[in-house]
Structure 1
Amino acid sequence: MYKLISLPLTLLCLFVLTSCSSDGYQDAMDKGIEKLGERDYHQAAIQFELALKEKNGDEDASSYLEQANHMDEAVSAYEEKEYGASLESLNTVLANKSTLKTLQTEAEKLKDDVLADQEMTSSFEDTMKMVKELMAKENYSLARKKLQLLEKSLESNDSLSDYQPELNKLTKQIDLASKDQEVAQPEVKKTVEKSDKQHDTYQLYENGRYGFSMYYPKGLRMDPPPTNGDGARFYNEEFEITAYASHTNVINDEETIEMYYEDDLKSITEEIAYQRITEDWYVLSYEENGRIIYKKFYFNDQVGTTFIITYPASEQEKYGPITSHIAETFVPSANS
């Protein structure tokens, strides 16, 4: 009698459990689809995972879970401006034949947005590259115009806001390089005249050991000459000139000017405002801790001659012409 009674109870429990499981599955599926409609793909994926727990191996729940995850990844990648990864996830959704129609529409729309932003960003970066190339060619006027176009694009597109610091840096470089251009190019003689009258305010320094010479402003103090006689230092409270020479091809008998140039570039941690290299000299100019640093190096197969000038960046108008005159009248060491 007991066995006959327990059997119906067991069947009843199984029916209740099955019914509850079915209700839980459908509830999770409905909520998941609802979240897809709200574009909350992360929460949608959570609901489809719950549905799979209720009905392990269910094809619909598995398919919707995969779609939700890919859409969530696509949105996240797009927000991080990882356009390639976003497009890859979207293409996976669109290639799935069981993708819900509403989800496919959203995927296509997002793909259009990603492609548009990707093209805009690519064009923006190409223009920035052009600005840098123009700066390298010393065409600061055109570089500035291109930079102004970039600023306008940035103002009208929030997705480009991450580029603002780099644009600010380029603007600063152009401003500094424009000021230094006259100094860095001895052939420009707007402020430099080789006249006796101008030399009246300068004093001639000639290095006895290496034979280089230069005119420096009268009134500058001079450090005691080093015992090896390789150069001299002249200075006041703001302005400083250091000139010296040394033998080349001592350690390596195949030295080139490019080797010295690359070594200098590696040692400079600040942004370089102006740089130029020729067969026998190069110039580097940059700002460090509020001071302009201008360095010129002359190279031949026996002697390398260097002069370095530093002064406050705020005093460019005062010391720029002086630096220009020194650069124009500097005579490097000949082979000795």
Structure 2
Amino acid sequence: MYKHISLPLILLCLFVLPSCSSHEYQDALDKGIESLGKRDYHQAAIQFELALKKKNGDEDASSYLEQANYMDEAVSAYEEKEYGASLESLNTVIANKGTLKTLQTEAEKLKAEVLADQETASSFEDTMKVVKELMAKENYSVARKKLRLLEKRLESEDSLSSYQPELAKLTKQVDLASKEQEVTQPEVKKTLEKSDEQRDSYQLYENGRYGFSMYYPKGLRMDPPPTNGDGARFFNDQFEITAYASHTNVINDEETIEMYYENDLNSITEEIAYQRITEDWYVLSYEENGKIIYKKFYFNDQVGTTFVISYPASEQEKYGPITSHIAETFTPSTNS
């Protein structure tokens, strides 16, 4: 009896299975299109993949899957503020002649939003760049005014929220640097007015190998010079100066002062109180473990010359003028 029943059953299955598969294909396709309408592009892509499994090589499912993936990538990139990548994906959707009309309209709408936010971010970044240039020129009052305008923009434009940490850091740097400027500028003036006294209080150091020189306070002890003759260290219980030089463009023949500057910035974990960079030198000053660190670096295509000064932050009044005098009288290397 079972032998007679099995043949009809087999024939029934052969007829029903393709029909079931066709139904599942259409169901997945419909759900995918529905998800596109809800802007759930990730879910739409999953449904179109299911449709392709039920109907391998189907042009509609394949085309819709591609469109859903591009839209999903565009949205993700936009959320990460990667505007260029987002626009690239959106342009692909818009340019595709097989794109669903509703999806193309949505892509064009999102593109307009991305372009607007991109322009807003670009404008914001340009102003932050101006702030950094003003800081380099020690024009802290104007820099602070521009920072206040940027803070107001942050409050009113949600798309700029990711800039909050960087803006807060810049604001703190301007505040610290302007306070230091208020302290050191009168001291520098006072120090320069005492030039005769300074000449009696300082002595000259000249480096025999690289040719740089500086005036350092008399009474400081000096470490035995290194065997390679690249510099010297002078110190007492509170104050320390280290000056040295080395060849540039040794490892990389296209070195720039910006490379050294960025490397130093990345190596400093403390808040920088003062920073300035020019075409051939830069200065960084910050407090670390209760000490003021002042570093100045000179760059040319043959030699880089550095001096670093450190002293207790509590002794700023005493050693600030000395640091300023050393910086004013330091002569970097021009030797090859």
Instruction: Judge same fold: TM > 0.5, yes or no.
Output: yes
Root-mean-square deviation (CA, aligned residues, Å) is 4.6
Tell whether the 8 Å contact from 1:131 to 1:147 is kept in structure 2 after alignment.
yes
Question: In the alignment, is the contact (CA less than 8 A) between 2:282 and 2:298 conserved in 1?
Answer: no
Q: How far 1:25 moved relative to its partner? A: 1.4
- Report the equivalent of 1:287: 286
Query: Gaps spanning 5+ residues in structure 2: where?
Result: 208-212, 249-254
Question: CA contact under 8 A between 1:26 and 1:51: conserved in structure 2?
Answer: yes
Give the counterpart letter for 1:84 in structure 2: G
Distance in 1 of aligned mates of 2:279 and 2:62: 66
In the alignment, which residue of structure 1 is the partner of 2:169?
A: 169
**2: CA distance between counterparts of 1:231 and 1:7?**
100
Equivalence map 1:142-181=2 (5 Å) = 142-181=142-181
How far, CA to CA, are the matches of 2:12 and 2:120 in structure 1? 64
Q: Percent identity, please.
A: 64
Equivalent runs, 1:78-227 vs 2, <5 Å:
78-181=78-181, 190-192=189-191, 194=193, 204-207=201-204, 222-223=220-221
- Measure how far apart 1:169 and its partner are: 3.0
**Separation (CA, whole Å) in 2 of partners of 1:82 and 1:323:** 45
Note closer, same or farther for the CA distance 1:189–1:320 as it changes in structure 2 (3 Å cut): closer
Aligned-partner Cα distance in 1 for 2:20–2:293? 79
Alpha-carbon contact 1:41-1:69 (below 8 Å) kept = yes
TM-score normalised per structure 2: 0.69
Q: CA deviation at 1:118?
A: 0.9
| Distance change >3 Å, CA 71–CA 278, structure 1 → 2 | closer
C-alpha displacement of 1:71: 1.0
What are the Cα deviations for residues 100-159 of structure 1, in whole angstroms up to 9, with x where unaligned?
333223222211221111111111111121122222222222222222222222333343
Note the alpha carbon deviations across 1:24-56, whole angstroms, 9 max, x for none: 112111211221122111111111111122222
Paired residues of 1:93 and 1:99 also in contact (CA < 8 A): yes
Deviation at 1:284, TM superposition (A): 2.5
After TM superposition, give the deviation of residue 214 of structure 1 in Å.
5.6
Alignment of 1:15-94 (within 5 A): 15-94=15-94
The alpha-carbon distance between structure 1 residues 318 and 17, as it changes in their structure 2 partners (threshold 3 A), is: same
Q: Which runs of 5+ in 1 are unaligned?
A: 253-258
Q: Which residue of 2 aligns with 1:242?
A: 241
Shift of 1:243: 7.5
User: Which deviates more from structure 2 when the two are superposed, residues 98-107 or residues 206-215?
Assistant: 206-215
Residue 314 and residue 179 in structure 1: after superposition, are their counterparts in 2 closer, same or farther (change >3 A)? farther
Amino acid of the structure 2 residue aligned with 1:223: R
Query: Cα 1:315–1:30, aligned 2, differ >3 Å: closer, same or farther?
Result: farther
Instruction: Determine helix, strand or coil for the equivalent of 2:57.
Output: coil
Question: What's the TM-score, normalizing by structure 1?
Answer: 0.69
CA contact 1:287–1:313 (8 Å) conserved in 2: no
Q: Residues 229-308 of structure 1 correspond to what in structure 2 (within 5 A)?
A: 233-236=234-237, 239-242=238-241, 265=261, 268=264, 269-270=267-268, 273-275=274-276, 284-290=283-289, 291-295=291-295, 308=308
Name which one, 1 or 2, has greater alpha-carbon Rg: 1
Aligned-residue offset at 1:215: 5.7
Amino acid at match of 1:89: S
